[in-house]
Structure 1
Amino acid sequence: MYFVEVVARRWRRAEIILTVTSHKGGVGKTVTSVHLATFLAHEGGEGSTLLVDADPNRSAIRWGERGRLPFRVVAEPQAPKYARDHEHIVIDTQGRPDPAHLEALVDGCDLLVIPTTPDALALDALMLTVGEMQELGRFDGYRVLLTSVPPWPVRSGARARATLQKLKVPLFEAEIRRREAFQKAANSGVPVYEVRDRRAQQAWEDYQKVGEEAMGAI
């Protein structure tokens, strides 16, 4: 699993390379990859963005096969062929990166995005990743994204944010609220704004804010 990370260092035609990883499944890694790629595709125009699916589950590829996404999705072995033709690249990695893999990931991109849900188990897994980053001497180059944040009055999102801020973990100010529309989008093979759901536009706006922050951080 070092192929994409090593080659990414040579993809310097790309203006932006975002990599999405997590230590735990079910935290929105592929949802985040798909919607950050969608955001960059809107910014760069048709043909500007490539999503590299480096996860053996191939969730991003299957998402695209069920419908139509506004960017190209390729498997990891195809990446060198297509990367040189795109300005923006998003990499959806395999989960649970070991320390050496994690270091290669952060070195091979402009920003490493680490999604986490606000529940205790996910935060425990996140802190393993953050601890490994610190052991590697990496205190920047990555940001944590809170996903599947429940609506008010449930306060788990606010508590998680306060805890991470106290620990000085780099955080996106924006967060992704829990929306059924994301599952509908995955089932239909489209970005979330294309599904019939009264919260779909709000769900998309959450990722637009994350995309804007990511571009500002690079």
Structure 2
Amino acid sequence: MMIITVAGFKGGVAKTTTAVHLAAFLNRLAPTLLVDGDTNRSASLWASQGGLPFTVVPETQAMKYSRQFDHIVIDTGARPTADELRDLVGGCDLLVLPTNPEAMSLDALLQTTEALQNLGGTYRILLTLVPPVPSREGEEARALLTAERLPVMRASIRHTSAFRHASAQGVPVYDVKGSKSAKLAWLDYERAAAEIVTAAGGSA
């Protein structure tokens, strides 16, 4: 069994979007459960239209359902405390920290990674909502994280309206209708998910 937890210290960094698409990728390898541990219940709302290919349950039902699945993705609540962070690290194979390249998000992330380094947890940073060229925000954010010797992933997720359509339609982004960028958006998550699986000790 592989357990991947997605967490963030700031809202609006595509945390739930990342959890949903990691689950979609893993479900193609083996049956996957997405545990919705966010009080906003964004993943459950996404799944409520019946278009996701995997099972989504609230955190309170995780123990009951987890035995039926080979992989588990956990979408956590935002802004975990130090104690919650310790529990998250201890309860998964890999912690994924999405962040967009904005200064406020990076500052919040740096606070998170400082706490993680004290815990000795295994984690990876995923750059999300990266604006298209000619913007250099993504490159500058990657350079900053690399300079801090933080484990930033090679893959990144481009900013596109396809993800908003996916949530509205209740489907993974690869099933979005009428979006020219949907295939590229899914390709981004395929690359990221393959990298995450390898980092967690599995094989894609």
TM-score by length of 1: 0.90
Within the alignment, does 1:28 sit opposite 2:28 as a pair? no
- Aligned pairs for 1:53-72 (under 5 A) are 53-72=36-55
Residue identity opposite 1:19 in structure 2: T
% identity of equivalent residues: 51
Query: SS of 1:174's equivalent?
Result: strand
After superposition, the C-alpha distances for 1:146-189 in whole angstroms (9 at most, x for unaligned) are: 00000000000000000000001111100000010000000000
Q: CA deviation at 1:215?
A: 1.0
Residue of structure 1 equivalent to 2:173: 192
Gaps of at least 5 residues in structure 2 are: none
Offset from partner CA, 1:49-93 (integer Å, 9 cap, x none) = 100000010000000013410100000111011000000100000
Tell whether 2:22 aligns with 1:39. no
1:191 maps to amino acid? P
Could you report, residue by residue, the CA deviation over 1:99-153 in whole angstroms, capped at 9, with x for unpaired residues?
11111101100000000000000001001101111222x1x51000000000000
Structure 1 moving runs of 4+ over 2 Å: none
Q: 1:78 aligns with which of 61, 66, 86?
A: 61
Equivalent of 2:80, from 59, 83, 97?
Answer: 97
Cα RMSD after superposing both structures: 0.8
Given that residues 65 and 189 in structure 1 are in contact (C-alpha distance below 8 angstroms), is that contact kept between their aligned partners in structure 2? Answer: yes
- Provide the rounded CA distance (Å) in 1 between the counterparts of 2:50 and 2:128: 24
